[in-house]
Amino acid sequence: MKELSLNILDIAGNSVKAGATKVGITITETDETLSLVFRDNGCGMTKEQVENVTDPFFTTRTTRNVGLGIPFLKLAAEQTGGSFSIESATKEENPGNHGTTTTAFFYKNNIDFTPLGDVISTVTTLIMGSPGIDWVFTHTYGEKETRIDTSEIRAVLGDDVPLDSYEVIEWIKSSLEEEYDSFYK
């Protein structure tokens, strides 16, 4: 992937497929490091699935026996000297708190660090693709924080206006653009 934001778009898709109703995407940055955490309340994975999930030839998909999303993210993290981990609980294992947490840790100054890229576009694409999910996107860099919580937006919109209306998506986009404007300064 040319941008980490594309890995984010791809990996968040796994939470959608896992039937999650709430997905948190948290980016925490310092000058030297970047951590990326996905946390969902989806169906979760069994121990066997967790063990095999970084193997490209293991997938739950039935169209073809190759799944590259997780291996790509793991590689992107590890090639910077960083790390990757995944924890999960199925509904059977933990009925009250099931789901998957995926963490990737990067060293930004490594030459093989993939730039974050267009995160805003990834966030709006995820919201348009699954407007029914509560997306909580948080990005912090030192003292700076930008955040989008679609349940708060939906609370304002009520039943009259859908979250994925073009005007609302444009508002989310400009809201994020405004916050990122002063982000790295």
Q: Is 63 in the site for other proteins (CB under 8 A)?
A: yes
Minimum CB separation from other proteins for residue 171, in Å? 6
| CA 16 centroid distance within chain | 10
Structure tokens at 164: 């994925």
> Out of 36, 53, 89, 168, which residue is the one contacting other proteins (CB under 8 A)?
168
| C-alpha span between 72 and 30 (Å, rounded) | 23
Q: Is 115 in the site for other proteins (CB under 8 A)?
A: no
**In 4-92, where does DSSP find H-type helix?**
4-17, 47-52, 69-78
Q: Is 180 in the site for other proteins (CB under 8 A)?
A: no
**In 36-163, where does DSSP find H-type helix?**
47-52, 69-78, 119-129, 150-157
Cα–Cα nearest to 86, from 51, 42, 61, 48? 51
Half-sphere CA count of 150, side-chain side, radius 13 A: 24
Q: Is 156 in the site for other proteins (CB under 8 A)?
A: yes
User: Of 76 and 89, which CB lies nearer to other proteins in the complex structure?
Assistant: 76
> Out of 21, 46, 110, 165, which residue is the one contacting other proteins (CB under 8 A)?
165
Q: Is 144 in the site for other proteins (CB under 8 A)?
A: no
Q: Is 160 in the site for other proteins (CB under 8 A)?
A: yes
Q: Is 128 in the site for other proteins (CB under 8 A)?
A: yes
Q: How many residues bind other proteins (CB under 8 A)?
A: 41
> Out of 37, 50, 136, 157, which residue is the one contacting other proteins (CB under 8 A)?
157
User: Of 87 and 178, which CB lies nearer to other proteins in the complex structure?
Assistant: 178
Cα–Cα nearest to 54, from 11, 92, 24, 112? 11
| C-alpha span between 128 and 52 (Å, rounded) | 30
Q: How much of the chain is helix, strand and coil, in % rounded to 5?
A: 35, 25, 40
User: Of 15 and 89, which CB lies nearer to other proteins in the complex structure?
Assistant: 15
Binding site for other proteins (CB under 8 A): 1, 6, 9-10, 13, 17, 61, 63-64, 67-69, 72, 118, 121-122, 124-125, 128-129, 147-149, 152-153, 156-158, 160-162, 165-169, 171, 174-175, 178-179
